[in-house]
Amino acid sequence: MTDYEIEMALQDSQESFPLETRPVNLSYWNTGSEYQSGVRRILKYDTAQDLFDYHYYLPDGTEKPIALKFGFSEADCQKLRIDPLTQSTIAISSIIAFFSRQNMSVGIIRPAYFTVEVCCKDFKVPYTIFDDYEEDINEKFDAQRLLDSGCQAFWFTSPINSMSIYFKDHVIKEIQKILDAGKVVIFDESLCMNGMELARKFGMQENLIYIYSPHKTLGLQGIKFSATVVHQKFYDEIDDIQDYYGGSLNYSCQQGASHFITKNFDDCLAFYKDYYQKNLKIVREVIQKYNFAHVSPGTEGHYAMIFLDWPIDDEFFVNSMKDLMKKSGYFVFPGIMQDFDTSKRFCFRINLLLNHRDIEKGLNVILEYLKNESEA
**What confidence tens digit (pLDDT) does each residue in 322-369 have?**
999 999 999 999 999 998 888 878 999 999 999 999 999 999 999 999
Q: Which of 130-134, 146-150, 219-223 has the lowest mean pLDDT?
A: 130-134
Confidence of residue 131 (pLDDT cuts 50, 70, 90): confident
| Residue 296 pLDDT exceeds 90 | no
Distant-in-sequence, close-in-space partners of 369: CB < 8 Å, separation ≥ 6: 320, 323, 324, 327, 328
| Residue 133 pLDDT exceeds 70 | no
Query: Which 8-state DSSP code applies to residue 20?
Result: G
Cα 247 off chain centre by: 23
Question: Which residue(s) pair with 85 in the sheet?
Answer: 226
**What confidence tens digit (pLDDT) does each residue in 247-276 have?**
899 889 999 999 999 999 999 999 999 999
Tell me how many degrees the CA angle 55-57-61 measures, rounded to the nearest 5.
Answer: 120
Alpha helices in 231-313 (DSSP H): 232-246, 251-260, 263-287
Distant-in-sequence, close-in-space partners of 37: CB < 8 Å, separation ≥ 6: none
Residue pair 224/265 in contact by the 8 Å Cβ criterion: no
Q: Measure the CA–CA gap between 197 and 158, rounded to whole angstroms.
A: 8
What would the mean pLDDT of 213-220 be, rounded to a whole number?
96
The pLDDT assigned to 253 comes to: 92
The pLDDT assigned to 211 comes to: 98
Confidence of residue 206 (pLDDT cuts 50, 70, 90): very high
| Residue 134 pLDDT exceeds 80 | no
**What confidence tens digit (pLDDT) does each residue in 47-93 have?**
877 788 888 889 999 999 999 999 999 999 999 999 999 999 999 99
Distant-in-sequence, close-in-space partners of 18: CB < 8 Å, separation ≥ 6: none
What secondary structure does DSSP assign to 74-111, as a single string?
Answer: HHHHTTEEEEEES-HHHHHHHHHHHHHHHT--EEEESS
**Which phi and psi (to 5°) does residue 43 adopt?**
-60, 130
Confidence of residue 163 (pLDDT cuts 50, 70, 90): very high
Q: Measure the CA–CA gap between 337 and 318, rounded to whole angstroms.
A: 13
Confidence of residue 309 (pLDDT cuts 50, 70, 90): very high
The pLDDT assigned to 376 comes to: 64
The pLDDT assigned to 3 comes to: 86
Which 3 state secondary structure label does DSSP give 307? strand
Cα 366 off chain centre by: 24
What would the mean pLDDT of 132-160 be, rounded to a whole number?
90
Neighbours of 51 (CB within 10 A): 5
What secondary structure does DSSP assign to 118-165, as a single string?
Answer: HHHHHTT--EEEE-S-GGGHHHH--HHHHHTTT-SEEEEESSPTTT--
The pLDDT assigned to 192 comes to: 97
